[in-house]
Structure 1
Amino acid sequence: MEHQKIDELVAKIKALESELEAELHQEYEKFTCEITKKREELLASYRKEHQGLLRYLATTPMLHLLSAPIIWAVIIPAIILDAFVSVYQWICFPIYKITKVKRQDYIIFDRHRLGYLNSIEKLNCLYCSYFNGLMGYISEIAGRTEQYWCPIRHASRVKFMHNNYKKFFDYGDSENFRQRSAELREDLKEEKE
């Protein structure tokens, strides 16, 4: 009975996620149409809102400028982590018959094209797009790995749950873990890339 309630909630969440995705797609389509219609007006607005590099640097707080090297230093371990996780997925996922995660679904570079951003803001957008996309990419790889090897919910409340977590077995539910783990592994083969 308890599992039925959870399954119903998961189904509602999936329905709401689909509805949200459809609504966001409509908004995106509307935005795209408006851009097409008002391209020149938009470009003029972007030129007006563009803040030159010298003005940007002059108005940026000194501590922000001094902290920039620390922020950018994180890119080195991020690239290394990206390489290691990608190699792990390329080698291990075919062995386990897990559908691979597509990087381009998570790491998206597009905001740097906005005309109202100066070169530093564009560079910052590239950094954030890469880093946050990388975290999503890694989370999805880790989530699929966890679903394959250890699909058990935690006893304590979890602040962040990857997409696969809601499929996991209750903490202490040894019967389902032993009897249905193969189903969750099979589900990983069917997931869309």
Structure 2
Amino acid sequence: MTQRMQDLASEIVRLQGELDREIEARRKFLGVRIRARLVDFEHGITMEHRRLRRGVAGFLARSSIGTVLSAPVIYSLIVPMVLVDLWANLYQQVCFRVYGIPRVQRSAYILLDRRHLAYLNGIEKLNCLYCGYCNGVIGYVREIGSRTEQYWCPIKHALRLEDPHRRYYEFLEFGDAGGYRARLGEFRARLQEADSADEPPLRP
């Protein structure tokens, strides 16, 4: 990785931190408090949320027939998602122990906290549970996959990859045969030293 590429990667990390701070400031403005992973709202805000809740009957009345008819198709995805979740967990419990790779913390990716929002009705809460779980599983599996890729094949693709995982930018350039032979052990060792998903990036 060139110095320019490293500088750009560092800038992306800096901007992500700045965005996180802005999001936190917005949460405080909305009265959200988080203590020990438990979310609470300031006094009076929950009552306002309940006032804004739309009942299930009204929610369904405003839904199109296409939305209602497509719901079973949408929710049918829960079956393969649960299987992928279980299989990915088994995969990392077995393989990551063999390779000495720290296992991904599932609870850091699958969050089901939106069901506590008082302005959501029962159907909306169910939708939020479903989306939180499915997208959480995808993120969880993606991190497992990225650690596997760093261990076995830390090489960029020749073609542009849309939205690569966070480890990808540190990978070796496509065609860098000497670097691959010389640095594969370094990539593996660096991964084995990681103890969380917040592992700092590799240096060139």
Q: What TM-score do you get using the length of structure 2 for normalisation?
A: 0.86
Closer, same or farther in 2 for the Cα pair 1:25/1:43, shift >3 Å?
A: closer
1:80 corresponds to 2:83? yes
Match of 2:133 among 125, 130, 133: 130
Return the alpha-carbon distance in structure 2 between the equivalents of residues 109 and 65 of structure 1: 23
1:192 positional shift = 3.4
Match of 1:69 in 2: 72
Matches within 5 A, 1:48-127: 48-127=51-130
**Aligned amino acid, residue 13 of structure 2:** K
Match of 1:188 among 179, 191, 202: 191
Match of 1:163 among 155, 159, 166: 166
Return the alpha-carbon distance in structure 1 between the equivalents of residues 73 and 159 of structure 2: 34
State the Cα RMSD in Å. 1.6
**Aligned amino acid, residue 21 of structure 1:** D
1:22 positional shift = 3.5
Return the alpha-carbon distance in structure 1 between the equivalents of residues 25 and 13 of structure 2: 18
Match of 1:140 among 135, 143, 168: 143
Q: Which has the higher helix share?
A: 1
1:100 positional shift = 0.8
Matched positions, count: 189
1:79 positional shift = 0.3
Match of 1:179 in 2: 182
1:29 positional shift = 4.5
**Aligned amino acid, residue 135 of structure 2:** N
Match of 1:12 in 2: 11
Return the alpha-carbon distance in structure 1 between the equivalents of residues 14 and 55 of structure 2: 45
Return the alpha-carbon distance in structure 1 between the equivalents of residues 21 and 56 of structure 2: 38
Return the alpha-carbon distance in structure 1 between the equivalents of residues 27 and 49 of structure 2: 19
C-alpha distance after superposition, 1:63-108 (max 9, x if no partner): 1000000001000000001111110000011111111110110000
Closer, same or farther in 2 for the Cα pair 1:80/1:36, shift >3 Å?
A: closer
My pick for the range that moved more, 180-189 or 82-91, is 180-189
1:47 corresponds to 2:50? yes
C-alpha distance after superposition, 1:18-46 (max 9, x if no partner): 3333443444445435x754x22x12321
Share of identical aligned residues, percent?
39
